[in-house]
Structure 1
Amino acid sequence: MTPIRHNQSDTDAVLDAARDCVLAVGVRRTTLTDVARRAGVSRMTLYRRWPDVRTLVGDLMTREWIALAVGAMPDIDAGTPTRTRLVDGLVAGVNAFRAHPLFHKIIDVDPELLLPYVLDRRGASQDALLGLITGALAEGHADGSVRAMHPGLQARSLLLVVQSFTLSLRTMTEEADPELTERSFLGELRTLLERTLTP
C-alpha cells in the first residue's frame, strides 16, 4: 500500500471507497480498515486525516450533497429570471437528494447520523448550500425577480423548507391517492417557493 497524499484525486479515491462501503453495509458496519483496503491505502494514512468513520462519512456527505446541489441548479440564461432558476434548482435538488443512493442508505439504515444536522447544528454541507442559495438570492435581488429582504434570513428560511421536504416527504405521501403523491408535493413545493420569492 502506498501512502496517500492530500491532493484532491487521492481524497476523492478515499471518499469513493467510503461511499462504496456505506452503500454495501451502512455506516455502522463500515470500518476505516474496510475503507483503507478498498482505497488501496494504509489504515494509518486514513487515521491521520479521519479519526473515525463518522468524520470520514461527514466529508463524504459534504462532497456528495454539494455536487448534487450544484448540478441541480440550471445554467444561467439571459432570458430566464433568477427566481425561476432558483426555484427550479431547489425543486430539482430535493428530487435529486431523494433519489441519491447514499441518501437512501443513510435514511434506511443509519438515520441517526442526520439528527445532529436537523436538531443541533449546521454541518459543512448546509453551510455550503446556504452559500449557494445566498448567491442566487443576491442575483435575484439585483435583477428584481426576488423579493428583497435580509439575505441570511431568506436563505436560511428556504433551506429549512427544502430540508423538510427532503427529509420528511415520504412520511406525508400516499401513492394510492393522486393528490398526495411525491410529484404532487414537489409541485406544491414549487408553488410555495414561487410565492415566497416573488416581489
Structure 2
Amino acid sequence: MSQQLNSESPPAKRPAANAISEDTILDAAAALMSAIGIRRTTMADVARSADVSRATLYRHFPNVETLAAQVTTREFTRIAATAPVTDDPETRQSMVLTLVHLVREARRHPLLRRIIELDPEFLTPYLLTRTGRTSRSQLAALEDVVGRGQANAEIRAGDTRRIATTVLQMAWSFALTGPVFTDPENIDELDAELSDLLERYLRP
C-alpha cells in the first residue's frame, strides 16, 4: 500500500499568481456573467472557473463589480475591433455603416442581453448619473470621427463634442431600448432606421 501511495502522482499545482493572464480570468468571468448574470456571479465562482485561487483573483480584482466593469469594457473593445473596413473610411456613408454595425453587435451581445434581463441596475449609473470608462472611450472615438468628417465636409458643422454625444445617445438607445419596442423577429429592421437617422443628422 505504501508503495502504491508513493508511486501516485502528486496533485497538480495551480499556476503561480504572476503566471496567470488577466484574459484567463476575464474569459471565465465573461462566460459566467453571460450565463447567470453579474449579481449571481461570485469571486469564488470566477476563481473556480479560471482555475486560480481566490487570493490570486483578489490580487487582480478587488471585487465582482470591478471585474464586471473590466469584462464589459473588454467586450465592447472587441466589438469595436469587428467594425467593417471600407475603401474610404472618411466618408459619411462609411461612418454610418460602422456605427450601425457596432450598435447591432452590441444589441446582440450575450453579455449585454443578460445584463439587461437580470442585472439592469448595473447599467443604471452609467446611463443616468455618470459616464464609465467604456462610454468615455466611445465618446472620444466618436469625437475623432466627427472631427475628421467635418474637416472633409462629410459631416455638418457644429460643436464636435455635442454632435458626438448626440450620436452616442442615439446608438445606446437603439442598442438598449430598441428590442423593447420591436418585435424580436424584426429586430434587425432597426438597423435601417438607425442608418437613416444618422445620415439625416450628420449630413451637411
TM-score bracket relative to the smaller structure = 0.7 to 0.9
Answer yes or no: is the 8 Å Cα contact 2:22–2:60 preserved in 1: no
Q: Deviations over 1:116-162 (max 9, x none)?
A: 11111111111111122122112212221111222111111100111
| Whole-Å separation in 2 of the counterparts to 1:89 and 1:4 | 39
Aligned 8 A contact 2:33 2:41 in 1 = yes
Residue 117 in structure 1 maps to residue 126 in structure 2: yes
For residue 20 of structure 1, the aligned residue among 16, 19, 31 is 31
8 Å CA contact retained: 2:142, 2:164 = yes
From 45, 69, 77, the equivalent of 2:87 is: 77
Within a 5 Å distance, the mapping from 1:26-41 to structure 2 comes to 26-41=37-52
Aligned to 1:126: 135
Alpha-carbon distance change, 82 to 3 in structure 1, aligned in 2, over 3 angstroms: farther
Indicate yes or no: 2:115 matched with 1:106: yes
Of 194, 201, 204, 1:196 maps to 201
Structure 1 distance, partners of 2:170, 2:24, is 33
Q: For 1:88-110, what per-residue CA distance to the aligned partner results, in whole angstroms no more than 9, with x for missing partners?
A: 11111111111111111111111
Q: Secondary structure at the match of 1:5?
A: helix
- How many residues get paired? 191
Matching of residue 53 in structure 1 with residue 64 in structure 2: yes
Determine the C-alpha separation between the residues in 1 that align with 2:86 and 2:195: 19
Distance 2:164 2:181 in 1: 25
SS of residue matched to 1:145 = coil
**Runs of 4+ off more than 6 Å:** none
Q: Which one has a bigger Cα radius of gyration?
A: 2
Shift of 1:186: 2.2
Deviation at 1:182, TM superposition (A): 2.4
Conserved in 1, the CA contact under 8 Å of 2:42 and 2:64? Answer: yes
Cα offset for 1:71?
Answer: 1.7
Indicate conservation of the 8 Å contact 1:66/1:128, yes or no.
no
Q: Partners in 1 of 2:160 and 2:180 — Cα distance? A: 31
| RMSD over aligned Cα atoms | 1.9
Counterpart secondary structure, 2:123: helix
Whether the 8 Å CA contact 1:91–1:186 is kept in 2: the answer is yes
State the percentage of identical aligned residues.
39
Match of 1:183 in 2: 188
Question: What amino acid sits opposite 1:185 in the alignment?
Answer: L
Residue of structure 1 in register with 2:104 after alignment: 95
Q: 1:2 aligns with which of 15, 20, 26?
A: 15
Contact 1:3 1:42 in 2 (8 A): no
